[in-house]
Every structure is written in C-alpha cells, then in structure tokens.
Structure 1
C-alpha cells in the first residue's frame, strides 16, 4: 500500500509538456548528439525527426550559424549506420558525423560516444543547450521547442522525457513498463529530490554550462545507468532537474520486441546495482513476494472466511491495480492489465532474478553497452 501511494505521488510530479519558449531575437544554439552503434534499422527515422524540428527554423538549415546542429557518433558500427548518417550529413549542413572505434578502458560505450559527440561540437557557446537522443527514438517536430519552453518555465537545467510506444508495440509495454517505472521511481525522483534524481536517456536536454560544470561525461565515464547518473550529478552541483511528460511527441522502439524490452530492463537494473548478486536476488524475491502478498492474503481470507484478511487482501490488490493503471497511462502503455497488476508486478520480479542468474554465471553482457531505458 505504501509503495503504491508513493508511486502515485511521484507520478504526479512529472511536468506536463505545454508551451514553446518565449520568443528570442537570437535563439540559443541546441546541439543534438545521437550515439549510434549498429542502428541501421532505426537511425534514418531518428535523424529525420531531429532535422524536422521547428526550433530554430527561422534561421534556416542553410544558414552559416544554425540554431540547431546535430552530431551523429558512429560508434564502431559494422552495419550501414555510418552510411545512413553520412547521407543525412550530405543532405543537411546542420548534420555532422564523427566516427569512434569504441570506448577506451574505463569507459562505458554509450557514455563515451556521447562524450565524443560533445567534443566534436566544439567550444561551448553562451546559452547553449545539449540534447542527447537515442538512435531508436523518433521526435515529433514540436518537441524540442516545447522541451525548451518547459525547462524555461520550470527554471530547470536538465529535463528529460521517455519515448512512448510505437503504434505496433510488443507486450513489454503493458506487462513490464508499469512495474518498471514504479521500481525506477522508488530509487530516483522526477523532481530531483531524494538520493537520486530521475532522468530517462531516450531524450535528455540540458544546459551546456551545467554539463561543463560537472565535468561532462568524462566525470561519469564508467557509469552504465548514465541518465540517472547525470541528472543526480547536475542536481548535486546546484542544478534543477525535472522529468517531463513528452510521450505524445517522442516514440521509441527500444522496448520491442518483448525479449528486447525484458533485456533492456535487466541490464538497467544490473547496472544500477553494480552487478550485486545479493541486491538483485533481494530485490527480485522481494518484488515477487510483495506483489503476490495481496492475492495470497485474499485467498487465505476466503478459505478461512476471515473478513479482516479478505479486506486487507482486497485493499492491497486494488492499490496495486490503481498504481498500475496510473503508471501505464503515464507511459502510454495501456492500462488494460491493471486488474491483474499483482501478477504482472511479480513477472517483473523475474527481470531482477534473471539479472542475478546472469551475474552468478559470470556473464559480461551487462558490462557492454548501457541499457537504453
């Protein structure tokens, strides 16, 4: 019951995406960095969405000093990623492609690719913003302008939004996403409060001045839960961070099919626990036990004809269902599984237990590229 109430409170703290920034004679530069490793299946749509942004369009894509510029980091790809990025660069002078051969020792892959992208952008400009977009995320044309307006309204130094599901998505969204959001939210706050600040790596927009202040990605070189890490570091250095509800303006295919969504969550939680077998086992078993407690109490009450146990089990079941429905709506995941929330929550416990099995086997998959969510 307490977990459900806390999740509902945090869900209400997510900022709505409402308005564009106040008009400016010279809009600030926004540098978009797209890390891409073997993303030939999704990169084209990602870059089309970025190039179509309405922000800065008054200065035009052909201006010598555009308000929007894009750096695509071909991170050691062995497929057609580089060719796709190169085609976009040939079509649009705002797009630049840089090649990286992968991270040096001590760096995680995605963090190093984003570091390379910022370095390629050159020296910081006054008022500049940085935007980090996953290659499997597609932005609607108005998103950047609205994110800037939301950051301006909230006086925030870092805002992020998750991507919503594509039109044809797998069961990972209604089954895994509500419980996943709840568990991440229990350890990080969308308002930047508590021990960790919440951010989602699909799309992060931050002031470059704060990026430089914290030492950039170099200060987080080995981190694999890089989104929460950078938001927490910005917060700890006096910045304001917020999560924004921009799912109507961004979609991600990174959770599909179901196995990919499962693995994405697994890698995120293994990274978040630093590969701790006791933590993964404890969290996984705790998630399964707490989730199934309400149905178990209700069943015991019915068998023993105990009104008290029936009431307790029913209240716990309803609380989980309401929380599932709310988090599913936040993530545009569909709330139709809310009535069986105790069981979908228990299924999510299997994600952590799978992570524990991989760690116990000595698997190194979690040490590779960071999970996207």
Structure 2
C-alpha cells in the first residue's frame, strides 16, 4: 500500500515535471518571436515596382469595409502609375450594405472592381471561394505580379504595401504575412486571448516557415502570383478553413520561402473586438484547425488548462508542504509563463501588464477550446451566418 507521504511525493514529482514543461514551452515561445522579421523601409527601385492585385473577401462587412477600401486606395505603391495596383472586392453573399459600399468605392476609383457571389460552390469554404473568385476576376497573371489578400476588417497604413514588398525582397521571401494590430479602442481580447492563442498557433506553425507547418495569418498575406499558381491556387485548399497556414505550408513545401513580418504598427484589425467577437474568432480558427475534431479540441483544451495551472499549483503545494525545490521550480515556471505572455502581448501591441496572470489567461483559452469542442459536438459551428461543415 502506498503511504500518504509517498502519495504526496508522487504528486510533487508530477507537479515539478509539469512546471519544467511550462518553462520549456515558454522558452520556445520567446525564441519563436525572435524569428519574426521586422518591417523594412521601402527603397528607391532601380526598376519599376511590380504589379499588385489586392483581393478583399467581404461578407456582411458594411460596418468596416469603407475604411478598409479607403486605406487600400491610399497606398503609396502605385504612385508610379495606377496600373501597378488593382483591387478586387468580392461581395460574398452579403445581406447588408457591403455590396453597395463596394460599388460606390469602385465608382470613385477605377482601379477597384466588385464581383458578387451568392454562395460558395459545393465543397468550398466561403472565404476560400471568395478569394479564388477574386483572383479569377483579376485575370491572367503578369510577370512579377504579387497578390495581396486582406480582410475587410483591416485598415492599412499608406506605406504598408510598399514596406511588405521591400521586406519580401530583403529576406527573399515568396510569402510574407503580418497580423493586424489592435484598433484604438481595443477590447480585453488583446491582453487576455492573444498571448495564449498565438502561443498555441506558434507551437503548430513556425513564423520562419521551418516547423512542421509554416505560419501565416489571414489578416494580410502577400504572395508571389507565380507561387500561388505553383501550389494550385485557392482551389487546392477549397474545403480548408485554416487556409492561411495551409497555403503558407504549401508554398514552403513547393520550394518557396515564407516569413512572418512585424507590421502591426502599419495595419490594424477590428476583427477581435468586442471580446465576444474575439472569443468567437479564435474559437472558429481552432475548430477549423482541428477540422472540428471533438476529441482533439477537448484534449488540447484540457492540456492547455493543465499546463496553465501547473506552475502556480506547484508553488502552492511546495509552500504548504515545505518543499523548497518544488516551490522554486514552480516559481521558475510561472516566471517563464509571465515572460512569454509579456513578449507575445508586446508583439501584438497589447498591454503586457496582465503577464503575471498568464495562468489565468491560459486557462481561459483552454475553456475557449472546450467551448469549441462543445459546439462541434452539437454541430453548432457557424461564421458570419453561414454553417460550417467539416
């Protein structure tokens, strides 16, 4: 029979191992953020800049689309000639004024084209189909052309496109992607959900493209048209809902180079606000990333909660049982959690003052994943009024 003291010893050992795991995990997160490329200044070009086609998929985006399109039209890229920049807005079956706003913008800017689709083709996810339609509407590729895919809830600084092109050229990348930074009136999504969310994504996809999968985020993806065609375009990912990571990984696997760029001071997104929308957005992404697998979502969610609380519990148990080694290991793990949280929050331009509460933030994200598992089990997954199927 195991004595109570032996039972406590095994508990302490498990807590110590878990706290060390937290320390290693947090150190990897900090290391990954160092592989993110800083945004470069555009340099005077010896040759004419390349043509860029911007594709904006928009479904029920009447509240934000005008700001997005004004910012795209104001890009400094194209100042050498209007033909260098063209914009295709895809009204993806919107039930609000999205189409009307897009057409008004097209009337004021001849570089803008609007195309309407009522529903995705069978076997396609909505956003992927809309982006595919946008590229098809743009017509045959031109030599050296780039494609820029931006979400309708983003606002670009005037020099963002020029900077992204300069960065891609400087690091010899075929795909660069940047998250959007927070809007002026940000919600609690940014300090609470962003750090653990990006940590989990980063554990599955590397910012420098060297991991099992390559990281990209759909807010803003700049991609060489030649590599887009090489991987089969969006048609190759017709049913995917984590299409950003999928296409970045495919570009990498087909001999291209992908990099995550820190462009957050030059692009903002309102897609994570208010908090309930940020919760729903992350939930949708992880349900999509697991293809709606209830066991996988449940396992990741429970694992996330366990890893989040391991270090504080180790501190509490070590203190109560007067085990200084366990207390020290727990404190190291907690400190590492806080450092990783602060680093990720700072990168996302979110206030890092909640870093000491990283275990709470991580636990909250675990609950979010369990919420996703529950919705997937009930078949209640949807986005922008459209049912999601896997």
- TM-score bucket of the superposed structures, by smaller chain: over 0.9
Aligned to 1:41: 63
User: Which of 109, 118, 129 lines up with 2:126 in the alignment?
Assistant: 109
Give the drift of 1:263: 0.7
Q: Give, in whole Å, the separation in 1 of the partners of 2:381 and 2:104.
A: 35
Q: Distance in 2 between matches of 1:219 and 1:258?
A: 33
Matched position secondary structure for 2:353:
coil
For residues 301-345 of structure 1, the C-alpha deviation after alignment (integer angstroms, 9 at most, x for no partner) is 111121111101100100000000000011111101001111111
Shift of 1:370: 10
**Contact 1:271 / 1:366 at 8 angstroms: preserved in 2?**
no
CA distance in 2, matches of 1:21, 1:259: 41
The separation in 2 between residues aligned to 1:57 and 1:317, in whole angstroms, is 51
Matches of 1:353 and 1:42 in 2, distance apart? 30
CA deviation after TM superposition for structure 1 residue 366, in Å: 6.5
Preserved CA contact (<8 Å) 1:71 1:96: yes
Query: 1:136, 1:254 within 8 Å by CA — same for their partners in 2?
Result: yes
Question: For residue 283 of structure 1, what is the aligned residue in structure 2?
Answer: 300
Q: In structure 2, what is the equivalent of residue 263 of structure 1? A: 280
Q: 2:119 and 2:166 mapped to 1: Cα distance?
A: 35
**Once the two structures are superposed, what CA deviation does each residue of 1:21-41 show, in whole Å capped at 9, x if it has no partner?**
451442210000000011000
In the TM superposition, residue 128 of structure 1 has moved relative to its aligned partner by 0.2
Give the corresponding residue for 2:73.
51
> Is the CA contact (8 Å cut-off) linking 1:162 and 1:200 kept in structure 2?
yes
Instruction: Confirm or deny that 1:346 pairs with 2:363.
Output: yes
* Aligned partners of 1:280 and 1:353 also within 8 Å: yes
Residue of structure 1 in register with 2:93 after alignment = 76
The residue matched to 1:336 in structure 2 has which SS?
A: helix
Q: Provide the residue aligned with 1:199 in structure 2.
A: 216
CA contact (8 A) 2:60 2:384 kept: no
Structure 2 residue 198 is matched with structure 1 residue 176? no
- Whole-Å Cα distance in 2 between the matches of residues 15 and 128 of structure 1? 22
TM-superposed deviation, 1:364:
3.6
Q: Any gaps of 5 or more consecutive residues in structure 2?
A: 1-22
CA distance in 1, matches of 2:375, 2:95: 26
Distance in 1 between residues matched to 2:143 and 2:100, nearest whole Å: 33
Equivalence map 1:63-102=2 (5 Å): 66-102=83-119
- Aligned position for 1:132: 149
Unaligned runs of 5+ in 1: none
Alignment partner for residue 317 of structure 2, among 284, 300, 303?
300
Q: 1:367 to 1:248 in 2, by over 3 A?
A: closer
Question: Which of the pair has more CA radius of gyration?
Answer: 2
Per the normalisation by structure 1, the TM-score is 0.96
Say whether 1:220 aligns with 2:220. Answer: no
Distance 1:235 1:207 in 2: 12
CA contact (8 A) 1:18 1:146 kept: yes
**Contact 1:21 / 1:148 at 8 angstroms: preserved in 2?**
no
Give 2:29's aligned residue. Answer: 7
The 1-side partners of 2:46 and 2:55 are apart by 23
Superposed CA RMSD: 1.4
SS in 2 for 1:317: helix
8 Å Cα contact 1:235/1:241 also seen in 2: yes
Partner residue in 1 for 2:166: 149
SS in structure 1 at match of 2:50: coil
Measured in 2, the distance between the counterparts of 1:141 and 1:15 equals: 20
Distance in 2 between the 1:70 and 1:29 partners? 11
Deviation at 1:365, TM superposition (A): 2.0
Aligned residues between the structures: 366
Q: Which residue of 2 aligns with 1:16?
A: 38
Residue 158 of structure 1: aligned partner: 175
Whole-Å Cα distance in 2 between the matches of residues 304 and 282 of structure 1? 30
